[in-house]
Every structure is written in structure tokens, then in C-alpha cells.
């Protein structure tokens, strides 16, 4: 079996704003959001592909882990999402339409499938996202 990214966990403060960003702006499917809103599950997720989800941990889950440690930093440096060129352009257009700045790019960057074209932007809680497409996709 090939190794695949199963999930990424992001610590969030405003779950509604983050879910809107990942579903409406980036176009990913919500997972368990209704069940989360009604208290049946502890956190919602967004589906990137059949193999990968991003879990959005609300503050009530993660704050206890950071209260006693100055060695652990919340969130992550950045993560990269590889999409088709058409989806890349559509997301780039939605970022622009929403007035969300691109911090860097388009630029060539090395990744899992060699070089691709990337842009970098932030979600509503300041997590850095790299969005990339590979030529021919």
C-alpha cells in the first residue's frame, strides 16, 4: 500500500468561520459538521479527497494541551494542497473575489510529484496554506 496522508488536525478558535473558508472558498466538502453543531461529535472535518480530511479541533479540545507547556506551538507551519490546474485557478479566483491576499506566488516549488506551481495564502486563523498544481493536471 502506498502511504497517503490520512488527516491533518488544525486547532481553531472560530469553527464557523473556518468551516466557511474551507468549504465555500476552497470548495471542500464538510464532514460531520451538522453532528458537531448538535453535540454528537467533538469536532468537524473537511474532506480533501477519498483518502484525506482536515480535522478542525475547537478550542475546548486543544487548549488544555497548551496551558501547561511552552514547548508546544498551536497550529502548524503550513500544509500544501495539490489540485488540478482548473481547480487551482477557481480557488485563486475565489480568494481574489473574497479580498483574501495571496502572500506569495505563483511560484515554482518542489513537492511530492516534482515541481509544481504554488500560491500561498492564509485561512481565517492565520494558518499558511500552499495551493499547488502540477503541469498536465
Q: What is the pLDDT of residues 66-112, one digit of tens each?
A: 665 555 556 777 899 999 999 999 999 999 999 999 999 999 998 88
pLDDT of residue 58 exceeding 70, the answer is yes
The C-alpha cell 508546544 sits at 72
Whether 92 and 85 have beta carbons less than 8 Å apart is answered as no
Distance, CA of 1 to CA of 16 (rounded, Å): 36
In whole angstroms, give the CA distance from residue 133 to residue 56.
Answer: 24
Say what the pTM is. Answer: 0.79
Cis preceding-peptide flag for 106 (omega within 30 of 0): yes
Superfamily of domain 77-137: 2,3-Dihydroxybiphenyl 1,2-Dioxygenase, domain 1 (3.10.180.10)
Residue ranges covered by each domain of the chain: 1-76, 77-137
The listed CATH number (3.40.50.10680, 3.10.180.10, 3.40.50.410, 3.40.50.300) that belongs to domain 1-76:
3.10.180.10
Q: Which residues are catalytic?
A: 130
Q: What is the spatial distance between Cα 118 and Cα 16, in angstroms, rounded to a whole number?
A: 27
Secondary structure class of 80 (helix, strand, coil): strand
Amino acid at each position: 500500500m502506498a502511504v497517503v496522508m490520512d488527516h491533518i488536525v488544525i486547532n481553531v478558535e472560530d469553527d464557523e468561520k473556518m468551516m466557511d473558508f474551507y468549504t465555500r472558498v476552497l470548495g471542500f466538502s464538510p464532514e460531520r459538521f451538522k453532528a458537531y453543531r448538535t453535540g454528537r461529535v467533538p469536532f468537524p472535518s473537511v474532506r480533501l479527497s477519498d483518502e484525506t480530511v482536515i480535522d478542525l479541533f475547537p478550542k475546548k479540545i486543544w487548549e488544555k494541551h497548551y496551558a501547561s507547556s511552552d514547548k508546544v506551538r498551536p497550529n502548524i507551519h503550513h500544509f500544501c494542497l495539490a489540485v488540478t490546474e482548473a481547480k487551482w485557478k477557481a480557488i485563486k479566483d475565489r480568494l481574489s473575489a473574497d479580498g483574501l491576499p495571496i502572500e506569495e506566488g505563483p511560484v515554482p516549488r518542489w513537492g511530492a510529484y516534482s515541481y509544481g506551481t504554488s500560491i500561498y495564502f492564509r485561512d481565517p486563523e492565520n494558518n499558511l496554506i500552499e495551493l499547488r498544481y502540477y503541469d498536465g493536471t
